[in-house]
Amino acid sequence: MDTYQPPIFELSSPGKIGVNLPEADVPVAALPAELLRQDDLAGMPELTEPEVIRHYTRISQRNFCIDTTFYPLGSCTMKYNPKLHEEAARLPGFAAAHPLQGEQLSQGALRLMYELQRDLAELSGFDAVSLQPAAGAQGELTGILVFRAYHQDRGDTARTEILVPNAAHGTNPATAAMVGYKVVEVKSDERGNVDIADLKAKLSPRTAGMMLTNPNTVGLFEENIREISQLVHAAGGLMYGDGANFNAILGIVKPGEVGFDFMHYNLHKTFTTPHGGGGPGAGAVGCSAALAPFLPGPRAAKRADGQGYAWETPAKSIGRVKTFWGNFGMLVRAWVYIRTLGAQGLREVSEVAVLNANYVRVKLQGTYPAAYDRICMHEAVLKGQIEGAPEARTLDIAKRLIDFGYHPPTVYFPLIVPEALMIEPTETESKQTLDSFIEAMLAIADEARRDIEILHQAPVTTPVRRLDEVRAARQPILSYNAEKIAKLRAEGEAKASAK
């Protein structure tokens, strides 16, 4: 069976009609020339309705997604998205709300946002929350802008540096640099924690703050978090919490109580709202009372007379970071998630996520060495270094997993772990699913020892094999161009023949 699915443009035949539109009841007028496309789009494809439906159905069936398969993408927390949340977000009162309809007609939405702010503050131990940022990275940017505003408001303009561990997400140093800070890297120690001696050496009157993920990107809880916070605060800096891994400590540890001053919550990860190709993100932020006046607005608040809810903007706000009120549909889903589970249920989420990750770690680390010999949190970082198979690489293992029906884990991250394989099973997977995945990983290791070419040829069950990922990232073709596609196809065939 031919599995190739050409672009819809190549299926087009002149004269085919998919929809019979009614006759216009107004005079036909030509479109203004300035509104016509001027790019190289080769016309709209002409197909019948069945052809269009079949084309997009085939493409959709080739998606790897959380609704069809185990998706252990470490550091991305690909949790199942409960369908109850989708129903709630589609309620007409939410889905049809207009952002300009005013406070009087938005009381239900305002109440939901107020309660979500309050719940997130309670879960994290912070004093105030803003729901505006549209993603975790924008939450980071918001936090460091707030840090700068806080220092400047106190007349402390000598602080020009942000400390970032060498195990940090790449967005951390990028964020600090975007705000104009110099990034100072801090080493990790032999247990995967921040190296305290190196931290002390790099703290100075120039330190504006430190960005720290806890649990960190190696899947480990930062054992010295209180000491780190005390050191940074003693130097006059602020602690930023990258909340990407909040899923591991939900209902157990409150970041605000262990020394963090600010944190973003990935609602699209910890609180199960869709993300990636499935929906927009939501990167709410929380902070201490000292930083609350600088939060972006507007925020939902109770009216002074106690009669309903209103919008408010903090006195020294850094301003808006998103149009209107943030990605509201995501906020509805997160609110439903919290209310469905309750306090005990949220704690159990973290407990099961940590249990599942350690189950996978213990079952696999005899074959795939663990990055650190410690109990991990919600994700296990292993190495794709299989004894008896020196030619096997992490990329080969990841590609072969596709043939077994699994989405590959995150690979080659964090950068401080050679041949890293970061596996995050999450709490939503059953023991049967985990056992099946473990069996696949062990089977791949056996193949690597027996015949490494099986791995080098993988994947063999997909419409296309190994893609040129660097070229795809640096030279993307984002609109249909027959000439470019033909050229790429010819190059690919020539490359395959050369092998």
Residue 290 backbone dihedrals phi, psi, to 5 degrees: -65, -30
Instruction: Reply yes or no on whether the pLDDT at 181 is more than 90.
Output: yes
Q: In what order do the strands lie in the sheet with 420-423?
A: 380-383, 420-423, 410-411
Query: Identity (one letter) of the amino acid at 383?
Result: K
CB neighbours of 199 closer than 8 A, spacing ≥ 6? 163, 186, 228, 231
CB 103 within 8 A of CB 311: yes
**CA–CA separation, 138 and 140 (whole Å):** 5
- Please give the distance of CA 476 from its chain centroid, rounded to a whole number: 21
* Predicted local distance difference test score (pLDDT) of residue 35: 86
The residue among 431, 436, 413, 426 whose CA lies nearest residue 377 is 426
pTM > 0.85: yes or no? yes
Binned at pLDDT 50, 70 and 90, residue 499 comes out as low
**CA–CA separation, 168 and 211 (whole Å):** 8
Instruction: Reply yes or no on whether the pLDDT at 40 is more than 70.
Output: no
* Three-state secondary structure call for residue 496: helix
* Predicted local distance difference test score (pLDDT) of residue 243: 95
- Please give the distance of CA 264 from its chain centroid, rounded to a whole number: 12
Beta bridge partners of 370: 382
CB 194 within 8 A of CB 224: yes
pLDDT, tens only, 264-307: 999 988 999 988 766 688 999 999 999 999 999 999 999 999 89
CB 92 within 8 A of CB 222: no
Q: Which of 55-69, 362-376, 426-440 has the lowest mean pLDDT?
A: 55-69
The residue among 76 and 384 whose pLDDT is bigger is 384
- Dihedral sign, CA of 440, 441, 443, 448? positive
Beta bridge partners of 285: 130, 264
Angle at 485 between CA 480 and CA 488, to 5 degrees: 150
* Predicted local distance difference test score (pLDDT) of residue 366: 97
- State the Rg of the chain over Cα: 26
pLDDT, tens only, 416-443: 999 999 999 999 999 999 999 999 999 9
Residue 368 backbone dihedrals phi, psi, to 5 degrees: -115, 105
Binned at pLDDT 50, 70 and 90, residue 233 comes out as very high
Half-sphere exposure of 311 (CA within 13 A, CB side): 18
Mean of the per-residue pLDDT values of the chain: 93
* Three-state secondary structure call for residue 458: coil
Residue at token pair 């494809």: 45
Residues of the chain above pLDDT 70, percent:
98
Instruction: Reply yes or no on whether the pLDDT at 104 is more than 90.
Output: yes
Instruction: Reply yes or no on whether the pLDDT at 140 is more than 80.
Output: yes
* Predicted local distance difference test score (pLDDT) of residue 476: 83
CB 123 within 8 A of CB 291: no
CB 459 within 8 A of CB 400: yes
* Predicted local distance difference test score (pLDDT) of residue 1: 52
* Predicted local distance difference test score (pLDDT) of residue 368: 98
Q: What angle in degrees, to the nearest 10, is found between the helix axes of 328-364 and 107-124?
A: 30
**CA–CA separation, 147 and 141 (whole Å):** 10
The residue among 490 and 385 whose pLDDT is bigger is 385
